[in-house]
Amino acid sequence: MKGHTKHIFVTGGVVSSLGKGLTAASIALLIERRGYRVRLQKLDPYLNVDPGTMSPYQHGEVYVTADGAETDLDLGHYERFTGTYCTRESNFTTGRIYSSVISKERQGGYLGKTVQVIPHITDEIKNCIRALDKEDVDIVITEIGGTVGDIESLPFLEAIRQFRQEVGRENSLFVHITLVPYIKAAGEMKTKPSQQSVGVLRSIGIFPDILICRCEQHMTREHKEKLALFCNVDRKLVIEEKDVEHSIYEVPLDLRRQELDVYCLEMMNLHVNTVQMSDWEKMLDRLIHPKKGSVRIAVVGKYISLRDAYKSIYEALSHGAAANDLSLSIKMIESEDIEAKGAAALLSGCDGILVPGGFGDRGIEGKISAVRFARENNIPFFGICLGMQCSVIEFARSSCGLQAANSSEFDPGTKYPVIDLMESQAGIRDKGGTMRLGAYPCTLSQDSKSRKSYGCETISERHRHRYEMNNSFRKTFEDKGLKIAGTSPDGTLVEIVELPSHPWFVACQFHPEFQSTPLNAHPLFRDFIAAAHADGTKQRTAVNAQKN
Ligand code: GLN
């Protein structure tokens, strides 16, 4: 029955980077485990239509949904934590909302009215929230990006205030996440910033039902009572969310111990079914207490100083390590440093090398050197998107005698454009939302490593790129020993290349990291880690034998 969907709104106060996305994802997981069908969405107050055109330094990773939307990285948490999927309805920005209102205005859609923030922008925001009110959705969790008190957030807050007014208290919940800082000099935790943040919310008509307090140390009963009293929240609904010790995947268990999910359901008059988390607990145990040793992976990127720029890659590596019962250490290497210091100086001692995606020519030669180092030294190698393109360039230069090989992205006049613009991309001028985006099928070839990993012939993986391997070099590459391990079903686009002569050298044009979850590690990440560990063990044994 449509119209039965209930809504939870998550806002953040005091400072940004409180982990609202993780908290929203954790609540979703717990509620889902209680038998409800949940969807998540994030409303972002910035003016870009989507984060696709933003620098990774600004925004971190751009997460790509199966339906081809370029979205906020919190959607990655949503998909990794829960069994739900995200779509382009899972992320709206101020820019997208205005652009839709303005285009409606140009079409005469407002019938002569003056178009205003209230009611037209707020109505559009409410439509975005209602977009997930579907027959098969029981609860929608909407995270409001930014921090309460920001000018940009106001229309969103006004919209959710109105929304509750329309659907009623039993059909909607306000969860406010705030910071309770520890002031070292005073040796005390302070509740005042949270009180003030709730004060701001109340001044615009939002009265939070639940307060989630991010903190570095445990809160005392007094802290909770004080916050309950001054913020008008029931004492049991002041929830502590202390920094986790080992893994972000501990957060749901911590919130469950405090019965946050039970309170959420009760307040919305929903039956509290039993919850089953033993698989999650088992996964966490493997992640935190691996028993089979360790593996060291180098990630050679272009935006290394910002951890968020490769969020899904790091997560997928950790899933792969847990699946192999191994502990993981990641060496993050800026590709320009390889250009300055040489690959051997930075990559020796690593068990596996991963070159992830990216754009533009800065640091490319460093990435290509990393590929060469992995290939020549038989170190397990995993190339993703730009990483695959670099491995094709490296192969062309080193193994096919095409010294001047390059991608036309980095050298438009290159003599050997082994990576080239797709025909369908040639005439495109706009940058936003115009790449090859979203899930596409891929057929794996019989005796490839990828086929063995996936255990099936046809897969579906997400893409975000303009350039492709140039088919006019395909025969040369194959003759010289590069295996085309996966293509589009019609055979025209190369999706995976492998080097059969190497212990594990797999490079794919798509982004497998977006489909890896802690309960279900992506097969390529799982097997890359397994190969790296096997190889590392071999190398260590050889070194020890030499020493003896
Ligand atoms: N810049 C390359 C392209 O557009 C690779 C993109 C990526 O790594 N996501 O094809």
| Chain segment 118-165, per-residue pLDDT in tens | 999 999 999 999 999 999 999 999 999 999 999 999 999 999 999 999
pLDDT at 17: 83
The whole-number pLDDT of residue 546 equals 63
Q: Which residue has the tokens 């208290």?
A: 169
Query: Of 55, 409, 461, which is best to mutate to test ligand 1, by the most ligand atoms within 8 angstroms of its C-beta?
Result: 409
- Helices 386-399, 364-376: inter-axial angle, 10-degree rounding: 60
Q: Is the peptide bond before 45 cis (omega within 30 degrees of 0)?
A: no
Ligand 1 pocket test: which of 63, 302, 354, 359 has the largest number of ligand atoms within 8 Å of its C-beta?
Answer: 359
Residues with CB under 6 A from ligand 1: 357-359, 385-386, 389, 409, 464-467
Residue 246 annotated to the active site: no
pLDDT exceeds 90 at position 491: yes
pLDDT score recorded for residue 247: 94
**Token code pair at residue 429:** 């001028």
pLDDT of amino acid 358: 93
Q: What secondary structure does DSSP assign to 85-108, as a single string?
A: ---GGGEEEHHHHHHHHHHHHHTT
Task: Give the tokens for residue 101.
Answer: 């209102």
- The atom of ligand 1 lying closest to the CA of 385 is 8
What is the predicted pLDDT for the residue at 290?
A: 95
For residues 517-537, give the mean pLDDT: 94
Tens digit of each residue's pLDDT (9 = 90 or more) over 172-212: 999 999 999 999 998 899 999 999 999 999 999 999 999 99
Given this model, what pLDDT does residue 434 score? 82
pLDDT for the residue 3: 60
Answer for the pair 477, 392: CB distance below 8 angstroms, yes or no. yes
- Candidates 61, 70, 315, 513; catalytic one: 513
d(CA 398, CA 392): 10
**In the predicted model, what is the mean pLDDT of the chain?**
94
pLDDT above 90 for 506: yes
Q: Which residue has the tokens 């085309």?
A: 484
User: First vs last Cα of the chain: how many Å apart?
Assistant: 73
Q: How far apart are alpha carbons 402 and 405 in whole angstroms? A: 5
Of the residues 385, 390, 400, 508, which is catalytic?
385
How many whole angstroms from 368 Cα to the centroid of ligand 1?
A: 15
Would you call 352 exposed, middle or buried from its count of C-beta atoms within 10 A (0-12, 13-18, 19+)? buried
Instruction: Indicate the pLDDT class of residue 26, thresholds 50, 70 and 90.
Output: very high
The predicted-structure confidence for 360-419, as pLDDT tens digits, reads as follows 889 999 999 999 999 999 999 999 999 999 999 999 999 999 999 999 999 999 999 999
Kindly report the protein residue whose alpha carbon is nearest to atom 3 of ligand 1: 465
Per-residue pLDDT band at 1 (split at 50, 70, 90): very low
3-class DSSP state of 145: coil
Q: What is the reported pTM?
A: 0.94
pLDDT of residue 543: 58
- Give the residue-averaged pLDDT of 31-41: 97
Nearest atom in ligand 1 to the alpha carbon of residue 464 is 9
For residue 418, what are the CA distances in angstroms to 55, 312, 434, 468? 26, 28, 22, 9
Nearest CA to ligand 1 atom 6: 465
| Residue 2 predicted with pLDDT over 60 | no
Please give the C-alpha separations between residue 28 and each of 8, 466, 539, in angstroms, as whole numbers.
10, 34, 44
pLDDT value of residue 422: 78
CB atoms within 10 A of CB 513: 28
Confidence class of residue 305 from pLDDT cuts 50, 70 and 90?
Answer: confident
The CA 508 to ligand 1 mean position distance, Å, reads 11
β-partners of residue 12 are 177
Determine which one of 463, 511, 522, 533 is catalytic: 511
Q: Which element (helix H / strand E) includes 284? A: helix 278-288
Q: How far apart are CA 248 and CA 242, in angstroms?
A: 11
Say which residues have a Cβ less than 8 Å from residue 323's Cβ, sequence separation at least 6: 286, 521, 526, 529
Pocket test for ligand 1, best of 53, 335, 386 (most atoms within 8 A of CB): 386
- Residue 384 Cα, ligand 1 centroid: separation in angstroms? 9
Among protein residues, the one with the nearest Cα to ligand 1's atom 5 is 386
Instruction: Kindly tell me if the per-residue pLDDT of 59 is higher than 90.
Output: no
What percentage of the chain has pLDDT greater than the value 70? Answer: 97
15 — phi, psi (to 5°)? -140, 165
Kindly indicate the confidence band of residue 548, based on its pLDDT and cuts at 50, 70 and 90.
low
